[in-house]
Amino acid sequence: MDDDHGRFVWYELMTTDMAAAKAFYGDVVGWSTQDASTKDFAYTVFVAGGSPVCGLMELPLEGWKMGARPRWAGYVAVADVDASAARLKGLGGTVYVPPTDSNIGRIAVVADPQTADFALIEGLKLPSGTGREGGVGWHELSAADWQTAFAFYGDLFGWQKAETEAAGATDFYQLLAVGGRTIGGMFSKLPRASYPPFWQYYFNVADVGEAAKRVKAGGGRILQGPVDMQDGSSIIRCADPQGAIFALQGARSERDSGQPAATEVGWAAEWGGFASRGRLVSTPKSRESSHDDTRVQSRSSPKSQDAAPAKPKR
């Protein structure tokens, strides 16, 4: 676990319908499931390629009454949860659930000073299959102010700034690295945006276009995309049928060959309840379109996820 310090190593979906979530994500991402429940706590593990990638649990009723809604949470590995939680508080963060032993390891549910929530974990009991197909390939923070947020996470986890070849991109979108490996990025949402800062997680799929069809067929919503990235991959941002926000990334087999190449520009945009700022892909006018189609290339939460995380019963 010491080698993983500062890395996201586990993810969890808290939802109002576990059976529906199993079916939806199984079809969209290709996950199978394993029951990891105890006599007092229902818990399911999603599996990709034979390895556990994330967990599934019921959103506690008390959390729902407090305003919490279905959401994904990411767990960052630390050597000492108690010490890290104390340091987080000293840096201005909030501890929602103090360090406690759980079914997956010793955890604490916390938030940064700008209220984006995440979790700390020591001694993860499950081997994590992050990075591969079906795993999480990107982590993105929509912050109130990314420079201040970066300073916090740098002090807490030792994160570094990763370089990008795109000229001026770091004015809007800062890449994050742990131990020399790029793990994601962060940017500042627009001041007028009413949703709170949040972390978004991108699951790797073989074909984004086909996955988008499965999202819609399963009762989910495409909030934005597909967006073609400079490295040849594509992304979509989605909501599952219960309202939890997630994203997908991967290749895309179906592309409009008549569409001119996208170019990167600075952006400030709103879509599907989002309003944020960062890098943008601006696609020039096609033959059928009378206006420019501008699409976000940073990897952002609608207004429904603004309650403090509920304390899980484990």
Q: Which range is least confidently modeled, 26-40, 55-69, 226-240, 298-312?
A: 298-312
**Domain shared by 240 and 144, yes or no:** yes
**Domain shared by 183 and 282, yes or no:** yes
Give the orientation angle of helix 208-217 with respect to helix 18-28, to 10 degrees. 150
Average pLDDT over residues 9-19: 96
* pTM of this structure: 0.82
In a domain, 129, yes or no: no
**Domain shared by 99 and 169, yes or no:** no
Give residues with Cβ within 8 angstroms of 113, minimum separation 6. 91, 92, 93, 94, 148, 149, 152
By three-state DSSP, how is residue 274 classified? strand
Average pLDDT over residues 25-54: 94
Most confident of 36-40, 63-67, 217-221: 217-221
Give residues with Cβ within 8 angstroms of 207, minimum separation 6. 250, 251, 252, 253
CATH number at residue 99: 3.10.180.10
Confidence at residue 9, expressed as pLDDT on a 0 to 100 scale:
94
Q: Which residue has the higher pLDDT, 1 or 87?
A: 87
In a domain, 230, yes or no: yes
**Domain shared by 143 and 113, yes or no:** no
- Provide the domain limits for residue 168: 136-296
Domain total in the chain? 2
In a domain, 309, yes or no: no
**Domain shared by 109 and 235, yes or no:** no
Q: Which range is least confidently modeled, 155-159, 224-228, 236-240, 275-279?
A: 275-279
In a domain, 261, yes or no: yes
Q: Which residue has the higher pLDDT, 270 or 267?
A: 270
In a domain, 128, yes or no: no
The secondary structure of residue 64, as a DSSP letter, is H
Average pLDDT over residues 38-60: 92
Place of tokens 């990897």: 299
Single residue among 66, 96, 122 that ends a domain in this structure: 122
Single residue among 78, 97, 122 that ends a domain in this structure: 122
| Type of residue found at 259 | Q
Confidence at residue 177, expressed as pLDDT on a 0 to 100 scale:
95
How does 171-193 read in b/e, with b if 16+ C-beta sit within 10 Å?
ebbbbbbbeeeebbbbbbbeeeb
**Domain shared by 181 and 78, yes or no:** no
In a domain, 311, yes or no: no
Q: How confident is the model at residue 293 (pLDDT cuts 50, 70, 90)?
A: very low
Q: For residue range 64-111, what is the model confidence (pLDDT) as tens digits?
A: 888 889 999 999 999 999 999 999 999 999 999 999 999 999 999 999
In a domain, 286, yes or no: yes
Q: Which residue has the higher pLDDT, 127 or 144?
A: 144
Give residues with Cβ within 8 angstroms of 266, minimum separation 6. 168, 171, 172, 279, 280
**Domain shared by 90 and 168, yes or no:** no
**Domain shared by 103 and 237, yes or no:** no
**Domain shared by 31 and 100, yes or no:** yes
**Domain shared by 181 and 93, yes or no:** no
Single residue among 94, 122, 150 that ends a domain in this structure: 122
**Domain shared by 194 and 219, yes or no:** yes
Average pLDDT over residues 13-35: 97
Phi-psi region at 149: left, alpha or beta (left = phi > 0; alpha = psi -120 to 50): alpha
In a domain, 314, yes or no: no
Q: For residue range 243-265, what is the model confidence (pLDDT) as tens digits?
A: 999 999 999 987 543 343 333 33
Other CB atoms within 10 Å distance of the CB of residue 18: 19
**Domain shared by 172 and 83, yes or no:** no
